[in-house]
Amino acid sequence: MANEIKASYVTGSTLTAKVYTSVGALRDTISLTETPASSGLYLGDYAAIDNGDVILILDGSDVVGGEVYDALVSSRASSSALITHDGKLDTVDGIVDFIQNVIEGDVELDISDSAQIQIVHKIKGTSTELIRKDLKGTDGTAITSTNLSSILIGQHQEP
């Protein structure tokens, strides 16, 4: 099988896909190739992928998409109704899983760049990032290490 991982995104980007097992263990990181050139269609081969694996599409370190892999949806079958039905269920399951991971996950402030503090949501107890977002004040200015103490009132870290 080929092109198990597919994504559409802004042309000229450098995309990678991180493939995780259904329990969140990283399987591999795959480079995606824009095929045909300047089309916005990115393809990647990963023969070891299994049904239920979670695929995160990244542009650099930013997550720009994701899905739960299902071979039935990705391959041709005689019943388009079956493919559509399974695809919708997998999409809904993937969205529900993502939301649950965000709600139950760990949230950290990344202060490694003093010019722009970021908030990072991770799958609970792992280093797997779900969301990374620049932190901004109500006026839209970047929250930096300089102005963080005047904005942040308190911090609570869960055990």
Domain 5-104 architecture: Sandwich (2.60)
- Contacts of residue 49, defined as CB under 8 A and 6 or more positions apart, other chains included, come to 4, 5, 19, 27, 55, 69
Contact 111, 147 (CB under 8 A): no
State the average pLDDT over residues 67-75.
66
Q: Which of 38-42, 52-56, 101-105 has the lowest mean pLDDT?
A: 101-105
Contact 2, 12 (CB under 8 A): no
Residue with more model confidence, 93 or 44: 44
Calculate ∠ Cα 14-17-19, nearest 5°.
Answer: 170
Portions of the chain given CATH number 2.60.40: 5-104
What is the value of pTM for the model shown?
0.46
